[in-house]
Amino acid sequence: MYLPDDPLQALKIVNENKVKAIFDESTGYVYSIDNTIIPGLDRLLDDMANAGFLQVTIEDNNVLINGKLPIYETLTCPECGSPFISHESLAQHNKCGTVLPLDAFKKNEEFFCPACNTEIGEEELVYLGSWYTCHSCGARFQFPMVRFNLENEHFRLGQEDIAYKKTYRLTPKGLAALNAQVPSLAKDLKTKLYGSHNIFFVGSIYGSIGRAQEVHLFFESSGKVHLIVILKGNSKVTEDEIRNAIDLSKSNTCETSAIIMIPDAEKSAIEFLRRSNVNYIVINKEDKTADTVLTLVKKELNE
- The DSSP secondary-structure symbol of 83 reads S
DSSP sequence for 26-75: TTEEEEEETTEE-TTHHHHHHHHHHTTSEEEEEEEEEEEBTTB--SEEEE
Query: What are 191-239's pLDDT values in tens digits?
Result: 899 888 889 889 888 888 989 999 999 998 877 888 999 999 888 999 9
Q: Residue 70 — pLDDT band, cuts 50, 70, 90?
A: low
How far does the chain reach from its first CA to its final CA, in angstroms? 31
Calculate the alpha carbon distances from 5 to 193, 227, 282 in Å: 12, 20, 30
Q: Tell me how far the alpha carbon of residue 154 is from its chain's centroid.
A: 38
The per-residue pLDDT for 159 is 63
Q: Taking Cα atoms as reference points, which of 302, 205, 212 lies closest to residue 261?
A: 212
Q: Does residue 85 surpass a pLDDT of 70?
A: yes
| Tens digits of residue pLDDT in 252-302 | 567 788 999 999 999 999 999 999 888 999 999 898 999 999 999 988 887
- Side-chain half-sphere exposure of 26, counting CA atoms within 13 A: 0
